[in-house]
Amino acid sequence: MLSAVLKYIENKRTCPHCKTELTLCHAPPMHVGDGLGWGSEYLFVCLNDECSLFKNGWEYIENQYGHVGSYRYMELPNSPEAFHMMVAGKDAFTGSIVDVEDLKRRNVRFQKQQEALSRLETCLQEGDIAPVLTLLLDDSVPLQNRKRAAELLVPFNDLSCVEPLRNHVFKDEYLQMGITTALNKILSNHFLKECPYCAELIKSRALVCKHCHKELAG
């Protein structure tokens, strides 16, 4: 869906009444006219307050319907349909403008997720833990995919994953428990443990931390 929206933005559209470029906005949940959905999450809307349709609409609606309001020109993405949407004030749609830069960032993030998912089955054989970490450290990844990635931690047995995963706060309690168990197993496999004072990795049999020099319980 993100890729489709970015294509919408590339397709520049202008208002026939004022020649101003239309703005991509989030569609309201209900069609104002008949209570039906728009059939699209997004709408192209003319937000030019100097547009002749908008400026003249106030007087027209007052004379015809006895209401305060005007019209904004609107088009649907991927459709030849155009509408004159009634609005109650000039602020209509200004709070629902699509943040294009945010969409681009989200699209890049989504593409990274998809690439990591596609490599999840082969990354262990390839010896590349990067896809696992990409999925585990991104809270927007569906939980079932993050659990699949977590299952690969012990088979990888890679110490490089300890610090980034220890420093990440996982919102799901069971995912956090599973990752903690996996990291403890990895440390045990390498005969290591974390210093309880400085959290640096030390040998499991160490009595004094070589980093902070604190004495440890026997």
Judged on CB neighbours under 10 Å (0-12, 13-18, 19+), 207 is exposed
Report the pLDDT value the prediction gives residue 34, as an integer from 0 to 100.
44
Instruction: Please indicate whether residue 107 or residue 145 has the higher confidence score (pLDDT).
Output: 145
Q: What is the distance in angstroms between the CA of the first residue and the CA of the last residue of the chain?
A: 57
Report the pLDDT value the prediction gives residue 37, as an integer from 0 to 100.
62
pLDDT confidence tier of residue 10, bands split at 50, 70 and 90: confident
Topology of 127-203 in CATH? Leucine-rich Repeat Variant (1.25.10)
Sorted by sequence, the CB contacts under 8 Å of residue 178 that are 6+ apart come out as 147, 150
The domain locations on the chain are 2-96, 127-203
The pLDDT tens digits of the residues spanning 39-68 come to 778 889 999 999 999 999 999 999 999 989
The pLDDT tens digits of the residues spanning 128-167 come to 999 999 999 999 999 999 999 999 999 999 999 999 999 9
How large is the average pLDDT for residues 31-38? 52
Q: What is the mean pLDDT of the chain?
A: 89
Instruction: Please indicate whether residue 10 or residue 150 has the higher confidence score (pLDDT).
Output: 150
68, two tokens: 């305060």
Q: Is the pLDDT of residue 2 over 50?
A: yes
How large is the average pLDDT for residues 115-129? 95
Q: Is the pLDDT of residue 6 over 70?
A: no
Query: What predicted TM-score, i.e. pTM, was given to this entire model?
Result: 0.60
What is the C-alpha to C-alpha distance for residues 144 and 29, in angstroms, rounded to an integer?
30
Nearest to 8 by CA among 95, 90, 107, 118: 107
